[in-house]
Amino acid sequence: MKICCIGAGYVGGPTMAMIAKQCADIPVHVVDLNEQRIDAWNSDQLPIYEPGLDEVVREARGRNLTFSTQVDAAIAEADMIFISVNTPTKTFGIGAGRAANLEFVEKCARQIARVSSGHKIVVEKSTLPVRTAEAVKRILANASTNASFDVLSNPEFLAEGTAIQDLLAPDRVLIGGESQAAIQSLVDVYARWVKKDRILTTNLWSSELSKLTANAFLAQRVSSINSISALCEATGADVDEVARAIGTDSRIGPKFLKASVGFGGSCFQKDILNLVYLCEHFGLHEAAAYWDQVVIMNDYQKRRFASNMVKTMFNTVSDKQIGMLGWAFKKDTNDTRESAAIYVCRDLLLERTRVHVYDPQVSETQIRADLEYLLRDESGELSSYKKSLIDNVKVVPDAYAAAKDSHAIAVMTEWDEFKNLDYSKIYTNMPQPAFVFDGRNILDREKLSNIGFEVHAIGKSRPTVG
Ligand SMILES: NC(=O)c1ccc[n+]([C@@H]2O[C@H](COP(=O)([O-])OP(=O)(O)OC[C@H]3O[C@@H](n4cnc5c(N)ncnc54)[C@H](O)[C@@H]3O)[C@@H](O)[C@H]2O)c1
């Protein structure tokens, strides 16, 4: 058995590293068109920051784990080919802003069809709309070679920041397919380290739809508690107390009830929009509107955070300085896709604020690229005015530098290091009144208030002062 994986990203890299670690006798070849990314996978500076990933890669790389750009050769040699390429929301044409862009998946299928011989199992690891496997099968069936194929769906449920833990001990592994023999081959791989009762097998379509549904349900919990956070701020209730009170109900459960500035990441929004598009496609308009609201709520939460900052700081932040702590969409990852920080920063820049950003894992190049992407116009152009706004961003090497001379600090990512900063020192280096806006509810509000800060957090009302 030989495995190949097309796509060395946040999913392909860690999942294949785990398979290679657990199955030392199976050669695993991860390929990507992006040479820079592959070079990084072959270096000491991996392209992805994920706790525990270094050790897993170090154990398997050079033994049975290989990274290269030799896509054709890797496909030709493999018995099982995982497709783990990106499936972003379409930005053009039919379904723009909703449907998944399947261009990369289709190109993979065509490439597999072109270079394969013998029998291959093709595994969809990317998150795909229901019935994509049908399209993949049709493309493969038209292979000009005499190769034959089985197609399986094996969506990935890892969460960035805890990917290695999630891969080591998954709640479940889901495998959808038609051929029992093909399903069994993949079950046998996972069964090396995952208990049999955690490996679920279904038909292809249930497997594809389950991944979209899981992300929609998770995002819905975040938007639900965030909607309550707005009500808490208006009424004097405390959102963490409400979350604890409802989370102890075993029918609701405690997880994913943390109010915040809004969810980010490459998947939640894209997958819900994809679900909305599917519902609309089948004429299920009420079902589409129901799920759409989760995204609308999330946009509202991000906008609300930035506008609360402006309102609180005497209705003007122009020519003021804000220290932003965190840029990644969550802690323990360097992934910034759809991070709330980008949107809040954009809103502040439009108010002509100067923003000093610090994130422990995100590079300056990435931060600038994220802002340029968000501020460009419909034709993809970045106007000189928008460019000049981005010039108001400075990326600094630590949290103290971000806070120095800032009128306010805004916590955008829940990195642990932000909890234990020397806030007394920070306070003395800020103009007064010094504001703190905690977008993740991780700071000790009482301690900070005692130092002298005016602290604003999500879903917490502030007592009216005099
Ligand atoms: N990131 C997550 O937390 C997560 C979790 C579960 C599922 N998913 C799903 O997994 C899929 C991949 O996500 P990701 O975050 O790893 O994306 P990513 O953008 O980090 O990686 C995708 C990689 O595929 C490569 N690629 C694209 N087309 C290619 C081709 N034809 N040949 C070779 N390489 C090609 C790109 O260069 C890129 O490096 C998506 O469908 C996503 O929805 C992501």
**Shared domain check, 275 and 135:** no
**Shared domain check, 392 and 282:** yes
- Tell the residue number behind the tokens 């000093």, with chain if given: 356
Using the mean position of ligand 1's atoms as its centre, give its distance from the Cα of residue 23 in Å: 23
**Shared domain check, 184 and 38:** yes
Q: Say yes or no: CB of residue 108 within 6 Å of ligand 1.
A: yes
CA–CA distance, 267 with 302 (Å, rounded to integer): 17
Burial class of residue 239 (count of CB atoms within 10 Å of its CB; 0-12, 13-18, 19+): buried
User: pLDDT of 24-78, one tens digit each?
Assistant: 999 999 999 999 999 999 999 999 999 999 999 999 999 999 999 999 999 999 9
Tokens at 43, concatenated: 């270096």
**Shared domain check, 451 and 372:** yes
Choose the final residue of a domain: 147, 177, 202: 202
Given this model, what pLDDT does residue 143 score?
A: 83
**Shared domain check, 290 and 175:** no
CA–CA distance, 239 with 231 (Å, rounded to integer): 9
Atom of ligand 1 nearest to the CA of 108: 31
- 267 catalytic? Reply is yes
Residue 36 located in a structural domain: yes
Calculate what percentage of the chain has a pLDDT beyond 90.
96
Residue 91 located in a structural domain: yes
Averaged pLDDT score across all residues of the chain: 96
Give the model's confidence band at 300: pLDDT under 50 very low, under 70 low, under 90 confident, else very high. Answer: very high
Residue 231 located in a structural domain: no
Residue 250 located in a structural domain: no
Task: Tell me, rounded to whole angstroms, the distance of Cα 158 from its chain centroid.
Answer: 10
Choose the final residue of a domain: 202, 225, 259: 202
Residue 466 pLDDT > 50: no
Give the model's confidence band at 461: pLDDT under 50 very low, under 70 low, under 90 confident, else very high. Answer: confident
Residue nearest atom 36 in ligand 1 by C-alpha distance: 7
Choose the final residue of a domain: 202, 223, 250: 202
Given this model, what pLDDT does residue 146 score?
A: 87
Q: Say yes or no: CB of residue 107 within 6 Å of ligand 1.
A: yes
User: pLDDT of 301-324, one tens digit each?
Assistant: 999 999 999 999 999 999 999 999
**Shared domain check, 161 and 41:** yes
Using the mean position of ligand 1's atoms as its centre, give its distance from the Cα of residue 397 in Å: 29
Residue 232 located in a structural domain: no
Using the mean position of ligand 1's atoms as its centre, give its distance from the Cα of residue 205 in Å: 21
**Shared domain check, 405 and 273:** yes
Residue 317 located in a structural domain: yes
Residue nearest atom 4 in ligand 1 by C-alpha distance: 11
Q: Say yes or no: CB of residue 167 within 6 Å of ligand 1.
A: no
Residue nearest atom 20 in ligand 1 by C-alpha distance: 9
User: Which residues are 437's β-sheet partners?
Assistant: 410, 456
**Shared domain check, 277 and 188:** no
Give the model's confidence band at 462: pLDDT under 50 very low, under 70 low, under 90 confident, else very high. Answer: low
Domain CATH code at residue 171:
3.40.50.720
**Shared domain check, 172 and 47:** yes
Residue 210 located in a structural domain: no
**Shared domain check, 317 and 175:** no
Q: Please tell me the total count of domains within the chain.
A: 2
Using the mean position of ligand 1's atoms as its centre, give its distance from the Cα of residue 126 in Å: 7
The residue segments making up the domain with residue 101 are 3-202
Residue 207 located in a structural domain: no
**Shared domain check, 296 and 405:** yes
**Shared domain check, 161 and 283:** no
